[in-house]
Amino acid sequence: MDKIPTVTYTAEEVSEWLKSNGFEAFCDTFKDEDVDGEAFACLSETALGSLVDKVGPRMKLLRIIKQMKRNDGDSGSSGGSNVSSWDLESLESPNSQDLPRSSSPMSSSPTPDQRRDVCRAIITTFPFLADVGGGYETWYRHLGDKVKNELRNETSDPVVLARKRKSVGDPELSTKVPTSRRGIINWDPPAVNGEDEATNRAHVSWMQKEYKRKTPNMNLVKQKMMLTFSFRRKLVNVGKMSLKEIDLTYPFLFEHEQLQDEYERLVSDENVKMISKNINELAPRILKVAQSRGIKQMAGLIEACLEDNEEEEDTLTDDEKVVVALSVLPHLLERPTKKNPHPENFLYQTADNPEALAKESSSPMSPYIIFCEDNNGSVNRIFIAAEKRVLMEADDILAAVS
């Protein structure tokens, strides 16, 4: 094996080192992520897992990273003082020497980058204090908790005052802004610990490059979609980006599997199952109400579903009954008028060419469903469309409305 890499390595040198030491399968991933020597030394087991998906090579690299930190710590120790490449004094501003040294909290807290630098300095100078795998997540979390606790009683920091329930000084600063909860459409989840705008931009850039490859690393894509979820929700909640712009920023988002994962992140997997269960349970009630309204266009289908419910042997599946129930639902919610003679178009439309229909459609509801029929008039494909474009193809009607 070549010599252990150092923190002075560039991203290209790290990639070359990997190639010459039997890790060539991961060279492109490290290079795309711009992992230089300094970043390589800071990789935790979790972070390395997102770059190296095989256990064997990952364990070997972890051992090398530990050795790298020990070497860097030894080379940085001289004259009886331990000074690492991330010198703690470098975190101080030029004017910090003029500030009074006291135990009282400062008026502003360290930024995420400053907290990371402190954690790196600790584990580089004292490798035995690193997390399992060589990371610093524990130090980063404890440092964040320490900052919050120290600032809890601060009366001069407007950020702290704005978080308090009771008024302290200016009443406008203490106004509590209601936060949305999970499952609410404008839910604004917190960022994953250790993630910020800089890391989000790096993840987004990587996914945009990965999308152009013939065989993207979908395991890594799934992890990065989870890490960028908070920042993506902020973009959506602001409401200034169109679906096309969101698609360009997060090209994997409208893939069927990723869109399903995004929905589950919003409302949780349990709620997704609950929605599907509720739709199945409500279908018979919707059909009975529709029968009493006498909808001519759907009378035959409604009658077939209700008669089928009363027989011992069902000829229609539950999914087929749900399709009929959802098809009549717009007729119950909206009555035909001169301006809107086809209320069913609020929810679904039928077309041979879904892309052409989406471009020309003036459906007031967005998103909506497009059914494609075969030669026998049976639905054989289902699409979801919005903003004059087809977003995705659904496996069945339950997936489409969920």
Same domain, 311 and 370: yes
- Least confident residue range of 222-226, 293-297, 372-376, 383-387: 293-297
- Of the listed ranges 12-16, 100-104, 274-278, 281-285, the least confidently predicted one is 100-104
Which single residue is written with the structure tokens 């395991």? 219
3-state secondary structure of 391: strand
Q: Say whether both 362 and 304 belong to one domain.
A: yes
Which residues constitute the domain of residue 217?
Answer: 197-266
Q: Is residue 275 domain-shared with residue 257, that is, in the same domain?
A: no
How many domains does the structure of the chain reveal?
Answer: 4
Q: How far is CA 282 from CA 240, 374, 387, 394, in A?
A: 36, 28, 29, 21
Any domain includes 383: yes
Give the pLDDT confidence score for residue 202 in this predicted structure.
92
Do residues 128 and 32 both lie within one domain? no
Q: Are 277 and 353 found together in one domain?
A: yes
CATH code, 36: 1.10.150.50
Degrees, nearest 5: CA angle 295-297-303: 65
Co-location of 326 and 377 in the same domain: yes
Flag whether 293 is in a domain. yes
Distance CA 12, CA 32 (A): 10
Return the pLDDT at 224.
Answer: 92
Domain end: 236, 266, 296, which one?
A: 266
**Residue 169 domain flag:** no
Q: Is residue 369 part of a domain?
A: yes
The reply to whether 27 falls in a domain is yes
pLDDT at 38: 82
> Is residue 181 in a domain?
no
- Distance, CA of 311 to CA of 315 (rounded, Å): 9
Same domain? For 366 and 252 the reply is no
Check whether residue 312 and residue 285 sit in a common domain. yes
Evaluate whether residue 315 is within a structural domain.
Answer: yes
Answer whether 13's CB lies under 8 Å from 37's CB. Answer: yes
| Same domain (yes/no): 233, 309 | no
Apex 196 CA angle, 158 and 69, nearest 5? 115
Q: Which of 366, 354, 335 is nearest to 394 (CA)?
A: 354
State the CB neighbour count (10 A cutoff) for residue 357. Answer: 19
Asked if residue 373 and residue 274 are part of one domain, the reply reads yes
Residue 257 in this model has a pLDDT that exceeds 60? yes
Handedness of CA 264, 270, 271, 276 (dihedral sign): positive
Residues 23, 119, single domain; the answer is no
Residues 247 and 282 in one domain: no
Higher pLDDT, 209 or 394: 209
Residue 86's pLDDT is what?
44
Last residue of a domain, one of 244, 266, 288: 266
